[in-house]
Amino acid sequence: EPEVTQTPSHQVTQMGQEVILRCVPISNHLYFYWYRQILGQKVEFLVSFYNNEISEKSEIFDDQFSVERPDGSNFTLKIRSTKLEDSAMYFCASRVDRGRDGYTFGSGTRLTVV
Amino acid sequence: DQQVKQNSPSLSVQEGRISILNCDYTNSMFDYFLWYKKYPAEGPTFLISISSIKDKNEDGRFTVFLNKSAKHLSLHIVPSQPGDSAVYFCAASLTGNQFYFGTGTSLTVIP
């Protein structure tokens, strides 16, 4: 069964450093998403991406965050200057269209900012 | 802002019995709802969905009920199996794009 692949599975970074979280969505999917889950809290929407541009973003997705689909297969989330409160599980997801199916999520990247 | 709430953090059920997971929402404009299942160290897996024009959707052992007047949905699993032990999230959407998730209910099915 097709999968959404995320790398790395765990990333530890120092506060103030830049991190790039990588995702390979399912190949025929057109809509891409990043969500995050801070430990013990709910899964929160960050951003959606379609047709090479951001289609929606949440208040969490401020100027420190950016997304890119550099080569038609990878979908990346960059955090420019990490803060302690960015520590969370980051999930990438994709879907074929905005129809009535759910997303397919990746297994997540656990980001720990120290 | 908690637009989607799952008030029971955990639930234990005997194998073979019915599991009922509940979810409440505050925004009456939500028009699409999903349930996801999550195992440790994995991403959420889509389970079942329901549109606001329906009040019930069934898929095998899983049935989702929607009560719009009460802003409440529930997931029924019958019969429950040990492999169903996982965290279950409900999620709701206005646009079909961004989803608002609840905090999850951890289901344990006891053999």
**What is the predicted pLDDT for the residue at A72?**
79
For B56-90, write each residue's pLDDT tens digit. 999 999 999 999 999 999 999 999 999 999 999 99
Say which residues have a Cβ less than 8 Å from residue B48's Cβ, sequence separation at least 6: B34, B35, B57, B59, B62, B63, B64, B75
Average pLDDT over residues A82-86: 97
Q: Does B53 touch chain A (CB under 8 A)?
A: no
Residue A6 has pLDDT above 80, yes or no: yes
Classify A75 as helix, strand or coil.
strand
Strand order in the sheet with A5-7: A5-7, A19-24, A75-79, A65-68
**Å from A88 to nearest chain B CA?**
13
- A84 pLDDT band, cuts 50/70/90, is very high
Question: What percent of chain A shows pLDDT beyond 90?
Answer: 77
Chain A residue with the nearest C-alpha to that of B95: A98
Going by C-alpha positions, the residue among A95, A69, A68 that lies closest to residue A80 is: A68
Are A101 and B49 an interchain contact pair (Cβ–Cβ within 8 Å)? yes
Are B46 and A107 an interchain contact pair (Cβ–Cβ within 8 Å)? no
**What is the predicted pLDDT for the residue at A97?**
77
**Å from A83 to nearest chain B CA?**
22
User: CA B90, A22, A108, A79 torsion: positive or negative?
Assistant: negative
DSSP structural state of residue A3: -
Residue A101 has pLDDT above 80, yes or no: no
Q: How many CB atoms lie within 10 A of CB B26?
A: 13
For A44-83, write each residue's pLDDT tens digit. 999 999 989 999 999 999 999 999 998 878 999 999 999 9
Report the b/e string of A35-53 with b at 16+ CB within 10 A: bbbeeeebbbbbbbbeeee
Residues of B in contact with A99 (CB under 8 A): 96
Residue A1 has pLDDT above 80, yes or no: no
Residues of B in contact with A100 (CB under 8 A): 32, 49, 51, 96
**What is the predicted pLDDT for the residue at B1?**
60
Residue A41 has pLDDT above 90, yes or no: no
Q: Does B3 touch chain A (CB under 8 A)?
A: no
Residue B43 has its nearest CB partner, among A48, A99, A105, at A105
**What is the predicted pLDDT for the residue at B69?**
96
- B95 pLDDT band, cuts 50/70/90, is confident
Say which residues have a Cβ less than 8 Å from residue A1's Cβ, sequence separation at least 6: none
